[in-house]
Amino acid sequence: MDAIIQIENVHKYFRGGIHALRGVSLEVGKGEVVVIVGPSGSGKSTLLRCINRLEQYEEGKIVVDGIPLDSAANINAVRQEVGMVFQSFNLFSHMRVIDNLTLAQRVVRKRPLEEAKAVGMDLLAKVGIPDKADAFPAQLSGGQQQRVAIARALAMNPKIMLFDEPTSALDPEMINEVLEVMLDLAREGMTMVVVSHEMGFSRAAATRVIFMDEGQIVEQGSATQIFGAPTQERTKAFLSKVLHH
């Protein structure tokens, strides 16, 4: 398997002595869809944010698509290849949807405006809201905003997409429209690392489910294995809580 993300023994400490990641190692292959689950505070977001260096880590090594995350130039190079979708969407609120989609294409990828717009419009059609190009983010529903956020990341033609609880800020009726877009991406062979407790998505798309607790990977396997027959006590305890909901 061709590892496009290699994480080796990463430790992360926050101010105040919080040891958020305790020696995490993980390899993600090209085209894999890895779903991370685990209790609040277990370090899921921190791990995800280390992959594109939104968070620094004190120990260990991360290599993305052959580029080690060790210099400012490399970090920017990696970020251009890695799209990220946040729980709170984080659309640029002063810009129309189309400008959200073209900004990074223009200033980072140096694409001409017309080309960037064409890419943006294609992606808006793909995520199902081609009519919202001229809207401001505040005029969109949460589900629509998150789909724009996904399109914005895709506009950079990333090789990897990271999702940090993309549906947990959404009203229930909007969760599916976002999951649909993510499922499409998975089917097209995008490499994805997804923090999400949406088991339907995991069952349909995950090549691997990882259970994290207290800054460590406790257990991993297929969705059927992890959700159906977990081997570790901590996994069982966590799943019993989540499944009740």
Ligand X SMILES: Nc1ncnc2c1ncn2[C@@H]1O[C@H](COP(=O)(O)OP(=O)(O)OP(=O)(O)O)[C@@H](O)[C@H]1O
Q: Contact residues for another protein (CB under 8 A)?
A: 52, 54, 76, 79-80, 82-84, 86, 88, 90-94, 103-104, 107-108, 136, 138-141, 144, 149, 152-153, 156
Q: How near is the Cβ of 40 to Mg ion at its closest, in Å? A: 7
> 28 and 193 in contact (C-beta within 8 Å)?
yes
- Is 71 or 168 the residue whose CB approaches Mg ion more closely? 168
Where residue 96 falls (left for φ over 0; alpha for ψ -120 to 50; beta otherwise) is: beta
Q: Which of 45, 102, 146, 202 binds Mg ion (CB under 5 A)?
A: 45
Residue 42 makes contact with Mg ion by CB under 5 A: no
Residue 166 makes contact with ligand X by CB under 6 A: no
- Is 19 or 126 the residue whose CB approaches ligand X more closely? 19
Beta-strand (E) ranges in the chain? 3-14, 18-29, 33-37, 59-64, 67-68, 82-85, 160-164, 191-195, 208-213, 216-221
Tokens of 10: 């990463």
Residue 167 makes contact with Mg ion by CB under 5 A: no
* Residue 40 binding result from Mg ion, ligand X, another protein, none, given CB thresholds of 5 to 8 Å by partner type: ligand X
Measure the CA angle with vertex 235, ends 230 and 239; round to 5°.
90
Residues that bind ligand X (CB under 6 A): 14-15, 18, 20, 38, 40-46
